[in-house]
Amino acid sequence: MSSVKSFPIPSIQRLPVYLRFLKEQQGRGETLISCTRIAEEFGQLSVQVRKDLSLTGISGRPKIGYRVDELVDAIQLFLGWDRPTRAFLVGAGSLGSAILGYDGFADHGLRIVAAFDTDPKKIGQTVHHCPVFDLKEIVERGKGENIDIGILTVPSLAAQEVARLLVQVGVGGIWNYTPVRLELPPGVVCEEVKLSASYAVLSNRLKKNDLQI
Amino acid sequence: MSSVKSFPIPSIQRLPVYLRFLKEQQGRGETLISCTRIAEEFGQLSVQVRKDLSLTGISGRPKIGYRVDELVDAIQLFLGWDRPTRAFLVGAGSLGSAILGYDGFADHGLRIVAAFDTDPKKIGQTVHHCPVFDLKEIVERGKGENIDIGILTVPSLAAQEVARLLVQVGVGGIWNYTPVRLELPPGVVCEEVKLSASYAVLSNRLKKNDLQI
DNA sequence: ATACAATAGGTATATATTTATCGATAACAA
DNA sequence: TTGTTATCGATAAATATATACCTATTGTAT
């Protein structure tokens, strides 16, 4: 039994939030920071921040706090954001374009090497400095490129077929912006961005507010 | 004590997934469905599906299952997706445009009444049939419009200020696509779409996969 | 009629996550 | 030096969520 200890997903999801704040502090020349300080910034409890940060293996010093540099490096290392992750994006529509245009991901080591689409009007163009190729060429263009992940921003109907192509390209993971549950071979991980789920939570909370008034 | 029973967020987040599937079944003329069937579709356990569906108050019949129509209506009612939710979207860039262009939200009752931006090139245009106005006009244009929510797809720096304007418009909730934690008056709910959090989970799982091989 | 199988629904257990508590450490002030 | 305080780190308790189990119901086959 290989005892693959797995980390709390909510903690992992909070790390980028801390990272952003820590980088901001770093930019201001701050060298030390306490959990208390981070916690009050985000309306959380300091214990939780401490526990989250402990995932990275960094320890702080009583009465002092943590070294900002150390934390930034450790979080990035923990998330694998210290080295580039090479990606193909499929579906250069509005959503694909939004992802290509968001600088934040570059900070996370994400390098979108190429985009693919089936629309002749898009093929041959560049979107936010990223070339758009014909989807037909994706497997061929993937050869020797060492693509780590595929970003799926295609219409639902095309999702499974494109996922299959991405697997052929050799990706280890798919970042799935479609609402489709993909069938993938073991070893290929999939992370779904469920915007409807987020909207559902908002709707439900709005409704509850209404009823209370 | 008003005993506001609150529902499990993970359950709420799964409901749209079921809803999508149920509507699909409805389209195929299916009138009945069992938890077992839904569960196998999504690789879940039937008990969990049953528990999730029970939030809506609908009960099924042994050996038969649930009535598809009844479930669809009940889920939509539960989420508040049975009646229109009127929204202003601020930030008509790629991401805003992607949201304006995604038909799925219309199915959820979301009506994006108008978009706002500060870019003169965008003001006066329409994006996916939605007019783009000058952000300066937002409070004036909000009068009498009964706007339920604001969708925030602006650069981080503008986020807090725009949120303040949306509150002035009278929204009850903000769907926040920026990584900024907003200061909002009590009574205004905020749901954050954290794409970096999602990417963090993917990165972490990719990294773990690497190490195992 | 009766037995059987599929299914919902409730209850109990297990797991995951958050929150609380307490002791230890190290800076700072008296 | 000694006391005080802010902080970390570990452990324990509480809460939330997921899973397992059992019972009741009802259609179908015998």
Q: What is the pLDDT of residues A34-78, one digit of tens each?
A: 999 999 999 999 999 999 999 999 999 999 999 999 999 999 999
- Tell me what pLDDT residue A213 has: 57
Own/partner contacts of A70-78, CB < 8 Å, gap of 24 or more, are: A71/A18, A71/A22, A71/A33, A72/A19, A72/A22, A72/A23, A72/A26, A75/A15, A75/A18, A75/A19, A75/A22, A76/A19, A76/A109, A78/A15, A78/B204
> In 3D, which of A129, A145, A139 has the Cα closest to residue A169?
A139
Place of tokens 């939710």: B85
Which of A173, A198, A206 shows the shortest C-beta gap to B202? A173
- Tell me what pLDDT residue A207 has: 87
A108–B203: do the CB atoms touch at under 8 Å? yes
Which of B42, B102, B193 shows the shortest C-beta gap to A198? B193
User: Region A159-186: what's the mean pLDDT?
Assistant: 97
Which secondary structure element, helix H or strand E, spans residue A25, and what is its range? helix A9-27
A189–B196: do the CB atoms touch at under 8 Å? no
Q: Nearest-5° angle of CA A69, CA A83, CA A33?
A: 15
Evaluate if residue A2 carries a pLDDT over 50.
no
A202–B173: do the CB atoms touch at under 8 Å? yes
Q: What is the pLDDT of residues B4-23, one digit of tens each?
A: 568 999 999 999 999 999 99
- Tell me what pLDDT residue B5 has: 67
Protein residue nearest nucleotide D20, by CA to C1': B47
**Whole-Å CA distances, A115 to A135, A184, B96, B102:** 9, 21, 20, 20
Q: What is the largest CA-CA distance in chain B?
A: 62
For an interface test with B, which of A147, A195, A202, A205 has the most B Cβ atoms less than 10 Å from its Cβ?
Answer: A202
* Signed CA dihedral, A25, A10, A12, A106: sign only: negative
Q: What is the pLDDT of residues A70-115, one digit of tens each?
A: 999 999 999 999 999 999 999 999 999 999 999 899 999 999 999 9
Strand partners, B192: B176
Nearest CA in chain B to A75: B200
Which of B97, B191, B208 shows the shortest C-beta gap to A94? B97
Evaluate if residue B167 carries a pLDDT over 90.
yes
Evaluate if residue B2 carries a pLDDT over 50.
no
- Rounded to a whole number of angstroms, the distance between the first and last alpha carbons of chain B is 55
- Tell me what pLDDT residue B213 has: 55
State phi, psi for B132 to the nearest 5 degrees.
-110, 125
For an interface test with B, which of A196, A209, A213 has the most B Cβ atoms less than 10 Å from its Cβ?
Answer: A196
> In 3D, which of A56, A22, A59, A58 has the Cα closest to residue A38?
A22
Q: What is the pLDDT of residues B37-85, one digit of tens each?
A: 999 999 999 999 999 999 999 999 999 999 999 999 999 999 999 999 9
Q: What is the pLDDT of residues B104-147, one digit of tens each?
A: 999 999 999 999 999 999 999 999 999 999 999 999 999 999 99
- Rounded to a whole number of angstroms, the distance between the first and last alpha carbons of chain A is 55
Evaluate if residue A121 carries a pLDDT over 70.
yes
Strands B32-33 and A189-192 turn out to be unpaired
Strand partners, A130: A127
> Is the shortest CB-to-strand distance from B202 to strand D under 7 Å?
no
Q: Which nt sits closest to A63, CA to C1'?
A: D7
A179–B93: do the CB atoms touch at under 8 Å? no
- Tell me what pLDDT residue A195 has: 97
* Through-space separation of residue B19 CA and nucleotide C8 C1' in angstroms: 19
Q: Is-contact B9 B44, C-beta < 8 A? A: no
Rounded to two decimals, the pTM is: 0.95
Q: DSSP characters for A125-146?
A: -EETTEEEEEGGGHHHHHTTS-
Near-strand C residues (CB closer than 7 A): A 8-11, 44-45, 47-48, 51, 61-64; B 34-37, 46-47, 50, 53-54, 59-66
- Tell me what pLDDT residue B208 has: 81
The Cα–Cα gap between B92 and B117 comes to: 6
